[in-house]
Amino acid sequence: VMYFLFIRPQSKKASDHQKMLAALKRNDEVVTTGGLIGKIAELNDKLVTLEIAPNVRVRVERNQIAAISSYGRMPRREKGEQS
């Protein structure tokens, strides 16, 4: 009974997260465990480079990607628009 209440859901959640990480590709918009939202600019086996603002890129470990963003695409800024 304990297996079905605690262990099984946790292992299923971990398995789903691994599948999501394996399916990541360029231009996916993702959320990190730290709350950063960005678009994938580059990725390899261990690291992901996220563009979090125009011309601002950060590198994060691939396993720190929490989810593919459900917030929609980052809004495009018009030329000359300041944030």
Instruction: Give the residue with greater pLDDT, 1 vs 71.
Output: 1
- Report if residue 73 sits inside a domain: no
Number of domains present in the structure of the chain: 1
Amino acid identity at 7: I
Strand partners of residue 51: 39, 57
- Report if residue 76 sits inside a domain: no
- Report if residue 23 sits inside a domain: yes
- Position 23 scores a pLDDT of 92
The domain that holds 57 is classified in CATH as: 2.30.30
Closest to 48 (Cα-Cα) out of 14, 35, 39, 20: 39
- Report if residue 54 sits inside a domain: yes
* Residue range 61-73, pLDDT digits in tens: 999 999 998 655 5
- Report if residue 78 sits inside a domain: no
Q: Cα(18)–Cα(56) distance, rounded to whole angstroms? A: 27
- Report if residue 77 sits inside a domain: no
- Report if residue 74 sits inside a domain: no
* Residue range 2-60, pLDDT digits in tens: 777 778 888 888 999 999 999 999 999 999 999 999 999 999 999 999 999 999 999 99
- Report if residue 33 sits inside a domain: yes
- Position 5 scores a pLDDT of 78
